Amino acid sequence: MNNTLMHCLYVSRALVPADAAEAASIYGSARQRNPQLDVTGYLHREGPYFAQYIEGPGYAIEQLVPLIRDDPRHDRFRILSHGEAETRVFGSWHMAFTDEGMNPYATFAAGSARPTNIAMARAEDLEAFFRASADIIEAENWGGPGPRDEKVMSVRQ
Ligand SMILES: Cc1cc2nc3c(=O)[nH]c(=O)nc-3n(C[C@H](O)[C@H](O)[C@H](O)COP(=O)(O)O)c2cc1C
């Protein structure tokens, strides 16, 4: 069994509306399965795109990636980076979840050489975005009690 810490970063095109019901349904699966698999990560929705970073033991990532890839709620699933990871980026979140209203990738990329359209982002762009987002969600404690719960649904470990 591969217990080495691995990660996977992908972008896909959403086929479902960006509403609370869809978010809650995806979040429900992540809340159930990710703790069992010792998986942590961050899912971001921006316009019609999803971008997700998942990390955990190799056997868990190998199980979870095909499950997510084959989900009919999205298509054009493109893995941007995949492989061993030195440390967890989202160690205290089984799946943090934001949208462009909370934490826009386009704003992160603006004023830099990075493409501002998330569909054009390279692995290095999204990895930088996810690392910056990890600091923000920790600092702001998104997912904690309060009105943000409706928009940002996160499961702390
Ligand atoms: C963009 C996206 C991200 C997802 N992320 C996760 C995840 O982190 N963990 C998970 O278990 N399922 C995730 N899912 C759901 C899985 O694709 C799949 O539908 C689900 O695990 C099915 O199992 P269930 O019926 O037991 O919930 C995601 C789905 C989508 C569309």
For the stretch 80-99, pLDDT in tens is: 999 999 999 988 888 888 88
Cα 27 to middle of ligand 1, angstroms? 8
CB 93 within 8 A of CB 154: yes
Q: Identify the pLDDT of residue 153.
A: 52
For ligand 1, whether the C-beta of 68 sits within 6 Å is yes
Cα 30 to middle of ligand 1, angstroms? 6
- What Rg do the C-alpha atoms of the chain give, in angstroms? 14
CA distance 115 to 113: 7
For ligand 1, whether the C-beta of 29 sits within 6 Å is yes
Q: Identify the pLDDT of residue 149.
A: 43
Q: Is 115 helix (H, G, I), strand (E, B) or coil?
A: coil
- For 15-48, give one letter per residue: b (16+ CB within 10 A) or e: ebeeeeeebeebbeebeebbeebbbbbbbbbbeb
Protein residue closest via CA to atom 16 of ligand 1: 68
Q: Identify the pLDDT of residue 22.
A: 87
Q: Mean pLDDT for each consecutive 10-residue tract of the chain (157 residues)?
A: 95 93 87 91 94 97 98 98 95 85 93 96 96 84 49 50
Work out whether strand 40-46 and strand 49-57 pair parallel, antiparallel, or are unpaired. antiparallel
Q: Identify the pLDDT of residue 101.
A: 86
The residue length of the chain stands at 157
47 CB-side CA count, 13 A: 7
Q: Identify the pLDDT of residue 144.
A: 47
For ligand 1, whether the C-beta of 26 sits within 6 Å is yes
Cα 112 to middle of ligand 1, angstroms? 33
CB 58 within 8 A of CB 2: yes
5-156: which CATH architecture? 2-Layer Sandwich (3.30)
For ligand 1, whether the C-beta of 43 sits within 6 Å is yes
Q: Supply the mean pLDDT for the chain.
A: 88
Domain ranges of the chain: 5-156
The angle at the Cα of 132, spanning 5 to 98, to the nearest 5 degrees, equals 90
| pTM: predicted TM-score of the whole model, two decimal places | 0.92
Give how far the C-alpha of residue 37 lies from the chain's centroid of Cα atoms, to the nearest Å.
Answer: 16
In DSSP terms, which residues pair with 40 in a beta bridge? 55
